Structure 1
Amino acid sequence: MIGVLFPAPSDEAGRLVLAALRRSVSSAQANWLSYAALRERAPAVIVAIDVPDAWGAALVEWVASSRSKLVVFGRLPAALARYLGCEERAWPEPLASAARSAPAASREAAESDASVRYTALSATLGGRAWVRPFERFDFTDEWNNLGFGAIRADGSIWAVRQPIDVPEEARLASVHVGAERQFSYAGLWDKATASVLWFNRPVGPCDSFEWRLIENFLSAHRAGELHCQPVLSEIPWGYDAAITSRLDCDEDVESARPLWQTYRRLGVPFSLAVHTSNLADTTHHAILRELAADRDAALLSHTATHAPNWGGSYEAACVEGGESMRLLQSVIGKPVRYAVSPFHQSPPYALEALSDCGYSGCVGGIIRNDPEFVLARGGTLAGMPEGFIGHSQQTMLHGDCMLASGDPLAVFKQAFDLAFETKTLFGYLDHPFSARYQYGWPNEPVRIDAHEKLIAYIAGRASKPVFLNEETALDFLLAKSSLRVIEEDGTFRVQLPGEPGTALRFAVEFRGESFEVDPEGRLR
């Protein structure tokens, strides 16, 4: 069991972290813990979020007296900082400006001067010497095709919290401005009877591939000495990578046919998200009905009018989601269960409206806005009911994002590499052409060639990848969100829902090994 500890002023960050943990370990294994419970009946693993100095001594006492694991996000209370040998530093003056990136020019990437750079110590938790810019763009000031969110320097929950330095032997990652190291971003301490992992941000790395370090710390670090917590894998059992992709039909639907034919030839499932203003032209109905009859294809809602921010209110989002569902179902004769956010804008009121309209989940996530929807793991969202999930898919395979120099697909290959290394379900998107806009592609053959080369790279990089349409992928995440990890007499089992809703099997990582969850919920 993981106790999640945060005071009332840290409620926003605390609830986001609690939801992120539950997406990894199930809702049964991460619970909000009171300060009193820390002293009286604390579990073997605690995650503390931006806690005050007044709680520091109790955390030190707990770490020093029990075989425990402690994760700290955000502020290190003074007593704990002293215990861990940390030193105060001054904020570097250019950090606020260095944290921001210029917009990306066409066919180029842009990054902030400020970055997080990991050390060789990250290999202890299954990482490597990653470099994560505070902010990064591949298309104007909107998309980061590598998939992670933004680290801020503005005092928000998304910002670095303290200019402190950890001892060199515990230094997991540092903040750099240009080539100059400024202060620590993450630390890992292994004491005689406990381990402490710290990230200098109230929400930790919940919006990044770096979340994998948290999972490995919980599930495998010092497996022979300390408590380990099973982690539910985002990759189905029997595979080493999972991939889904789609076209968002903003202005045309029928023009998706050449790419669909390519995917059918390659044996790769195909998905379309449709905004239903297109359906006034019956030219687009034939391909939708053909896709609906194709068991390897999926159709999703992309709103009724492609309105920014789902129309700007809960009421407008209900109309956008409800009308889209009704009209699309009237054409294809099948239920529409999932939605894709226009412009990937996913404000909380829109998610609430989609849930209330009867959707089971939403795809979105973009570095420009709604940072709480840039998710390291797909699944249930903070403040949302069970049975509604989110999944971030920020990798946009557009001609505008193909690099002008070197390998045009280098960024997309790197995006998959990060997902593959961190066992993340990888999603990418494109748009079909329209009479008005071709998304930076000179013509259809060039676009098809890029898709074929990316698919070939993925198939060559992974030993056993599984390509999924969007509905199958989201069904797997929805079923995963309903699993419950149960601890009984020192052993763990997985409580399965009555109807799993997916043919894919589940995997659990525990003590450095991967196990299949059998039909009785045992790990084998």
Structure 2
Amino acid sequence: MIGVAYPDARADAGQYVLAALRRSVSVTQAQAITRNMLHEIAPDVMVAVDAPDAWSADLIAFVQARPRKLIVFGHMPIALADYLRYRPAALPADLSQASRSATAPSGESRESAAAVRYGALAQALGGAPWHRPFERFDFADEWNNLGYGAIRADGSIWALAQAPEVPAEAELAAVVVNGERQFAYAALWDAGASAVLWFNRPVGPCDSFEWRLVEQFLSGYRADALPCQPVLSELPWGYDAAITSRLDCDEDVESARPLWHAYRRLGVPFTLAVHTQNLQRGGQHDILRELLADRQQGAVLSHTATHSPNWGGSYDTAIAEGVQSAELLERATGVPVRYAVSPFHQSPPYAMRGLIDAGYAGCIGGIIRNDPEFLSARGGALAGLPAGFVGHSQQCMLHGDCMLKEGDPLAIFKQAFDTAYATNTLFGYLDHPFSERYAYGWTDEAARIDAHEQLITYMRGKAQRPLFLHEEAALDFLRLRSLAQIVEHDGVFRVVTPFADTTPLALGVEFRGAHTKVETGKALQ
């Protein structure tokens, strides 16, 4: 079991970290604990979130007692810092400006001068020489097609905690500004018989592909000498890539037909997320019924009733948006709707609570501009929400406006998939059907279809065993994974899956360097 300790002043960050861990190791294997439990029945793996200086002695005793793993997110307590030769310093005053990105023009990307640069030590946790800007945009000041959130310098839980130096041999990553190193961002120590992993942010890298380093630290780092924690893979067992995509029908539905036909020709499942005011116009229903004639290859999701920003601004309007949309879609197709896509990808917590009470099983959203708590490295249960409801962040928008004018037009989309592939991440991307008003930056349908075909060809060429899923199947798998439980008894781990599986896909588990198929109830080796 992983213990997660945080002071009351950082309960918000603590809850997001706890939820992120549970998305990886299941709800049974990550628990919030008190400071006092560090002395009584402390687990072999601990996460300390923005721990105060007064907790130093407790954490030092934890790592010195026996071989253990400690993860520190955010503030490094002063005596523990001295023990690890971590030298704190205040953040530079000009970092706030360097942390922000300019708006992206059509056909170009923009990113902040400040970035995170990983070094060779990242390979010890399955990482690479990654470059991760604090903030970047591929469309206006809204979308980051590479999928991660924003690192701030504003004192929030999404911001850097300090500007420290760590021993060179321990540094995983550094903050750079215009390419020049400034201070440490992440570190990995072998501290006596134990190991310590640190990230310079109260929430750690929970909103980024970098979360893979946390998973690898938990599941396999120094497996011969240190305790390890099984991690449930986000990829269905037997596949080395999983891809899902959709069209958000903001202004039209029927105009999705040419792209749908291209996907059928390629043998790739297709999803439509429907803003149901479009159904008031004639000629918008047939494609939905035809798409759902083959439930293995087609899915329909709700994209709300009126496409209002922030689900209308309240819990009550979110319920109304969700209920009305689901009723209209089921009336049009005869098929119940279980999942939603947030308008503008805005997914405030009250809207998710409203969707739960409206009967939904999950929601897709996530965008760097707002609602950072919804931008999660792994899909699954969200902080403070009940079991059975899942969120999935899909920020990669395949639009003509986002195709690069210089070099390979698809370079960013390929990079997004490459990163997902390298970090065992379920990859999702989206586009929109054309309308009379707006073509989303595409010159014509032929150019759009060609870009989609090129991306699919690239992904099939990169992966050995790629799995293409429509959104309902992808969310069903994430929901199965979120309900699975890892249980431990006398040092032996087993995975227990829900009785009512809604997906034919199997779970995989990573433990002590091995990746194996989950056989419910069987001991992991």
TM (norm. structure 2) is 0.99
Preserved CA contact (<8 Å) 2:84 2:191: no
1:27 & 1:439 partners in 2: Cα distance?
A: 40
Give the partner amino acid of 2:391.
G
1:385 aligns with 2:390: no
Q: Which runs of 5+ in 2 are unaligned?
A: none
Give the drift of 1:90: 4.1
Percentage of pairs with the same residue: 64
What is the match of residue 174 of structure 1? Answer: 174
Please say if residues 496 and 521 of structure 1, whose CA atoms lie closer than 8 Å, have aligned partners that are also in contact.
Answer: no
* Residues 40/523 of structure 1: CA separation in 2 closer, same or farther (3 Å cut): closer
Task: Show the 5 A alignment for 1:317-332.
Answer: 317-332=318-333
4+ runs deviating over 4 angstroms: 519-524
| Conservation of the 8 A alpha-carbon contact between 2:235 and 2:424 | yes
Structure 2 equivalent of residue 134 of structure 1: 134
Shift of residue 380, structure 1, vs aligned partner = 0.4
The Cα of 1:518 is off from its aligned counterpart by 1.9
Q: Residues 364-420 of structure 1: CA distance to partner in whole angstroms, max 9, x if unpaired? A: 000000000001000000011111110000000000000000000000000000000
- Mapping for residues 18-167 of structure 1, pairs under 5 Å: 18-167=18-167
Q: Is the 8 A contact 2:494 2:520 kept in 1?
A: no
SS of 2:206's partner is: coil
How many Å apart are 1:89 and its aligned residue?
3.0
Aligned to 2:280: 280
Task: Tell me, in whole angstroms, the C-alpha distance in 2 between the residues paired with 1:411 and 1:108.
Answer: 10
Q: Does 1:503 align with 2:511?
A: no
Report the AA paired with residue 507 of structure 1.
G
SS in 2 for 1:450: helix
Distance 1:430 1:136 in 2: 20
Match of 1:164, SS state, is coil
Amino acid at match of 1:477: L
Please say if residues 75 and 202 of structure 1, whose CA atoms lie closer than 8 Å, have aligned partners that are also in contact.
yes
Alignment of 1:120-519 (within 5 A): 120-295=120-295, 296-519=297-520
CA contact (8 A) 1:361 1:388 kept: yes
Measure how far apart 1:519 and its partner are.
4.6
Write the letter of the residue equivalent to 1:157.
I
Q: 1:191 Cα shift?
A: 2.3
CA distances 1:228-284 after superposition (whole Å, capped 9, x unpaired): 000000001000000000000000000000000000000000000001000001300
CA separation in 1, counterparts of 2:166 and 2:39?
26
Q: Report which stretch shifted further, 89-98 or 379-388.
A: 89-98
- Contact conserved, 2:496 with 2:520, CA < 8 A, in 1? no
Q: Secondary structure at the match of 1:300?
A: strand
**SS of residue matched to 2:64:** helix
Call closer, same or farther: CA 1:61–1:160 in 2, change over 3 Å: same
Does structure 2 conserve the Cα–Cα contact (< 8 Å) formed by 1:89 and 1:183?
Answer: no
Q: Aligned residues, how many?
A: 524
3-state SS of the aligned residue for 2:284?
A: helix
Q: 1:19-56: per-residue Cα shift (whole Å, max 9, x none)?
A: 00000000010001111100111000000000101101
Are the aligned partners of 1:516 and 1:523 in contact in 2 as well (CA < 8 Å)?
no
The amino acid across from 2:443 in the alignment is P
Distance 1:87 1:26 in 2: 35
Deviation, 1:520, is: 4.3
The answer as to whether partners of 2:259 and 2:449 remain within 8 angstroms in 1 is yes
Q: Give, as a single letter, the amino acid of the residue that structure 1 aligns with 2:421.
A: F
Equivalent residues of 2:89, 2:163 under 8 A apart: yes
Moved more, 260-269 or 173-182: 173-182
Cα deviation digits, residues 135-172 of structure 1 (max 9, x gap): 00000000000000000000000000011111111011
Task: Compute the RMSD of aligned alpha carbons.
Answer: 0.9
Q: Distance in 2 between matches of 1:331 and 1:487?
A: 47
Q: Secondary structure at the match of 1:451?
A: helix
- After TM superposition, give the deviation of residue 488 of structure 1 in Å: 1.7
Partner Cα separation in structure 2 for residue 112 and residue 518 of structure 1: 45
Write the deviation string for residues 341-363 of structure 1: whole angstroms up to 9, x where unpaired.
00000001100000000000000
CA–CA separation in structure 2 for the residues paired with 1:229 and 1:346:
31
Name stretches of at least 5 consecutive residues in structure 1 with no aligned partner. Answer: none
Quote the Cα distance in structure 2 between the aligned partners of 1:351 and 1:92: 37
Query: Relative to structure 2, which stretch is displaced further, 503-512 or 487-496?
Result: 487-496
Counterparts of 2:492 and 2:93 in 1: how far apart (Å)?
51
Q: Look up the SS of the partner of 1:76 in the other structure.
A: coil
Structure 2 CA distance, aligned partners of 1:89 and 1:5? 24
CA contact (8 A) 1:92 1:182 kept: no
More deviation, 29-38/289-298: 289-298
Report the CA distance between 1:88 and its aligned residue. 2.6
